[in-house]
Structure 1
Amino acid sequence: MKIKQELSVKTNLITREGYLQLQQEHDHLWNEKRPEVTKIVSWAASLGDRSENADYQYNKRLLRQIDRRVRYLRKRIPDLKIVDYSPVQDGKVFFGAWVEIENEAGECKNFRIVGPDEIYDRNDYISIDSPMARALLKKQVDDDFEVMTPQGAKQWYVNNITYQK
């Protein structure tokens, strides 16, 4: 099982879907995965010599990873602020927007601007803390904007903005 790495995060904003997903992850780890791994660790420990017991060592490490992630989620979830869609946002890029942009070469990108806790395992989400998202905020369809990259400034054009309602 792959446990997500915790990074230092700046923004405490999250979409309702992202919040529910974090709660579901916590509940799964605490109520299902941890008891399952604890049983395996207990069984492996009962076999005797733990220093050469691969089941014991692997599952003990997995238990530490689960506990670390649960501690992180318990600390992080209460600090998060859920941002729901508001009709006032229509027509401009704000948190939670699905945005389609295009550069001078005609390359199109389509992604959703979300909180830093939601971007894992998703190629179509970007963090509100990213330079691209910061440059996009409050832009409208047909607006041009510039993003600084390691290769220099890049020009983009906003094609479409939608929200999940």
Structure 2
Amino acid sequence: MDRPNYMTPAGFAALRRDYEALFTTERPQLVETISWAAGNGDRSENGDYIYGRKRLREIDRRLGWLSKRMKAAKVVDPAQQQDRSRVWFGATVTIVDEDDQVRVLTLVGDDEADAGAGRIGWNAPIARALRGAATGDLRRVMLPAGEREYEVTTISYPQA
């Protein structure tokens, strides 16, 4: 990874919860089911055994991915941001486009992005364009639908 994996404390906690749930609950139950299914004899036509092994591989792959992402994480608390006059990681920004459509976006880590909820990843094109912007700044963004210009109207951060 050539760039840091910025995350909010809440995003890191969500990854940790996912990891713990898979590792301490789901995986041990699945291993028990596979062990029981293996004891039933012929494994070639044993659905519990075949599905269990497939699901175990998926869980192990997910655990490996979660582990890597947590190790690479750089947890940044947006409430501790010193320069609140500009858009930085964790900022909630209100922007207006050329058609006077208002959008409220929060810049979060790429692993915790949810565009439907207004949380966009730190490395998304619109987030990169907004970095360092102050209230009143105009920023151009190349989106799949074409180039758009946005004006930053408000910037806020969570309270400490």
TM-score range, shorter chain: 0.7 to 0.9
Matched, 1:54 2:50: no
Q: What residue identity is the alignment partner of 1:143?
A: D
Match of 1:141, SS?
A: coil
Unaligned runs of 5+ in 2: none
Describe how 1:76-155 pairs up with structure 2 within 5 A: 76-85=69-78, 86-119=80-113, 123-155=117-149
- Report the structure, 1 or 2, having the larger helix content: 2
Unaligned runs of 5+ in 1: 1-7
User: 1:120 Cα deviation (Å)?
Assistant: 5.6
Using the size of structure 1 for normalisation, the TM-score is 0.85
Count of aligned pairs: 158
Which shifted more, 62-71 or 43-52? 43-52
Q: Percent identity?
A: 36
Using the size of structure 2 for normalisation, the TM-score is 0.87
Contact 1:116 1:128 in 2 (8 A): yes
Distance 1:53 1:43 in 2: 11
How well do the aligned residues superpose, as a CA RMSD in angstroms? 2.1
Match of 1:69, SS?
A: helix
Contact 1:148 1:154 in 2 (8 A): yes
Q: Tell me the residue number matched to 2:61.
A: 68
Q: 1:118 to 1:140 in 2, by over 3 A?
A: same
User: 1:112 Cα deviation (Å)?
Assistant: 1.3
User: 1:10 Cα deviation (Å)?
Assistant: 4.6
Displacement over 4 Å in runs of 4+: none
